Amino acid sequence: MPAAKKLDLYKELKAEYVTPKKPVLVKTKPAKYLTITGKGKPGGELFQKHIGALYGAAFTIKMTRKFAGQDYKVCHLEGLWWGDKEGLDFSAIPLDQYNWKLIIRVPDFIQKKDLDSAVRALKEKGKGPEVAEVKLEKINEGLCVQMLHVGPYPDEVKTIAQMMNLAQEKGLACQVPHHEIYLSDPRRVAPARLRTILRLSVKPNA
């Protein structure tokens, strides 16, 4: 019997994952994500534990579904970021005051029972308590400004400024949180070569 075709959400939804060198408007659909929320320094101990819990759930669910005949590619890590005050300028916010929601997109057929089963399995294997914090959420960003950022994460402010300028030209207002889709692994890629899709949800100016 031939193997079931592996679902690749990036191929199915190419228009949502464009990597333009200049900001463009992108229409996104409501999507399901595994999520885990926290606050603190990016890359810190808490942050890393949360990433581990999120990936643990993502791959446990994927393997269970694969054995059931519904295989799919695990998507990239993504992050939603915001401060305690309104606004998109992160340059003045201390790193330990960053709010973040780490997310991994999953196919629409993934249900809460899949996550519950994965969490139980991970606990039985002795994984940390963070696995119980993973949730399954639907996120609807709608119309967004999107652009590929190449380089270190602190330099994103320059890319975000271009994105906000486009939004302003179109009579649109950018919304918090700001969304990052990580195409590179910072453990393996030099900061100057990191590739990150930046996305800002927008709505008409009041």
Instruction: Say how many domains are in the chain.
Output: 1
CA distances to 4, 74, 108 from 70, rounded to whole Å, are 7, 12, 12
| Mean pLDDT calculated for residue range 174-191 | 93
Residue 51 lies in a domain: yes
DSSP-derived secondary structure for 121-136: HHHHTT--GGGGG-EE
How much is the pTM? 0.93
Residue 3 lies in a domain: no
Residue 5: pLDDT band with limits 50, 70, 90: confident
**SS3 category, 153:** helix
Residue 19 lies in a domain: yes
- What CATH number has the domain bearing residue 115? 3.20.80.10
- Return the ∠ at Cα 79 (arms to 78 and 83), rounded to 5°: 170
Range of the domain at 172: 9-204
Residue 15 lies in a domain: yes
Residue 49 lies in a domain: yes
Residue 1 lies in a domain: no
pLDDT digits over 71-130, tens only?
A: 999 999 999 999 877 666 666 778 788 899 999 999 999 999 999 999 999 999 999 999
Phi, psi values for residue 21, rounded to 5°: -80, -10
